[in-house]
Amino acid sequence: MLTRKQHELLIFIDKHLRQTGFSPSFEEMKEALNLKSKSGIHRLITALEERGFLKRRAHRARALEVLRLPENLAPRRVAEATAAAAPAREAGFAPNVIRGNFAANLPGVQKAAQDAAAVHLPLYGRIAAGLPIEALRDSGNSVEVPAALLGGGEHYALEVAGDSMVEAGILDGDTVIIRRGDTAENGSIVVALVDENEVTLKRLRRRGNSIALEAANPRYETRIFGPDRVRVQGRLIGLLRKY
């Protein structure tokens, strides 16, 4: 059973795919459903994936695939196809029609559509002790992410090493998207540089004149530092995962 918004989004994506050959942008989906933020679209897409209605194709921007529709929509598709064919039958001829997703079958068209909604971010490396972000800046690697995932500001990507943030849904090998900045709200997940030589991804808590870096795994203790020992290098705004 789908919620009303999940149902509306699935219908919109299916219609857009059939009309254009590629999936709508997050901005288009947000406007179609009259939502205030793109985070709501992320949640709806995840719910539709979990229920087996949608699939996100890896390493491709704007690449949603409708796996199935609710049963009550199947007759509607047949009715639409029948209505579209009616004028031809009434005119006394039945043309041979080759049905196809032309945009999807033309690599140049498809790539242009994808590139318009994708951004390449520098992939600096794994978050590990002894490797400040600055030391990884010339790695030459990059990762492609949906433009809809990003807001204003400068961004970069890091590969996660370890399991200290598993209860926040961040697993070993994930790629996190970071918005660069030296400030963050209390409770945000940040990239913190400790003592100018250790980079870690943790939840930031301010406790009086101290800064606590909290893991999201009971196996790891909260680490507390003086304010002059911790420097925020960015805030987590997104995550990519390969299956």
Residues 137 and 176 in one domain: yes
The 8 Å CB, 24+ separation contacts for 1-6 are 2/48, 2/51, 2/53, 2/70, 3/47, 5/33, 5/35, 5/40, 5/44, 6/44, 6/47, 6/48, 6/51, 6/53
Token pair 């199935």: residue: 68
Catalytic residues: 164, 202
Residues 126 and 90 in one domain: no
Residues 91 and 101 in one domain: yes
Banded model confidence at residue 46, pLDDT cuts 50, 70, 90: confident
Share of the chain above pLDDT 70, in %: 73
| Domain end position, chosen among 116, 136, 163 | 116
Residues 135 and 221 in one domain: yes
Share of the chain above pLDDT 90, in %: 18
What CATH number is associated with residue 111?
A: 1.10.10.10
* Residue 128: partners with Cβ closer than 8 Å, 6 or more residues away: 161, 199
Q: Are strands 175-180 and 155-159 parallel, antiparallel or unpaired?
A: antiparallel
Residue 55 has pLDDT above 90, yes or no: no
Is 237 in a helix, a strand, or coil? Answer: strand
What pLDDT digit, counting tens, does each position of 75-127 carry?
455 445 444 444 444 444 444 443 444 444 445 444 444 444 678 888 877 77
Number of domains in the chain: 2
Residues 36 and 131 in one domain: no
How high is the pLDDT of residue 214? 92
Residues 170 and 56 in one domain: no
Residues 109 and 140 in one domain: no
Residues 78 and 140 in one domain: no
* Residue 22: partners with Cβ closer than 8 Å, 6 or more residues away: 16, 62, 63, 103, 104, 110, 113, 114
Query: Cα 2 to chain center, whole Å?
Result: 21
Residues 20 and 131 in one domain: no
Domain hosting 133: range is 118-240
Lowest mean pLDDT among 6-10, 69-73, 118-122: 69-73
How high is the pLDDT of residue 72? 59
Banded model confidence at residue 228, pLDDT cuts 50, 70, 90: very high
What secondary structure letter does DSSP report for 22?
S
Residue 28 has pLDDT above 80, yes or no: yes
Q: Are strands 118-126 and 155-159 parallel, antiparallel or unpaired?
A: parallel
How high is the pLDDT of residue 105? 47
For all residues of the chain together, what is the average pLDDT? Answer: 76
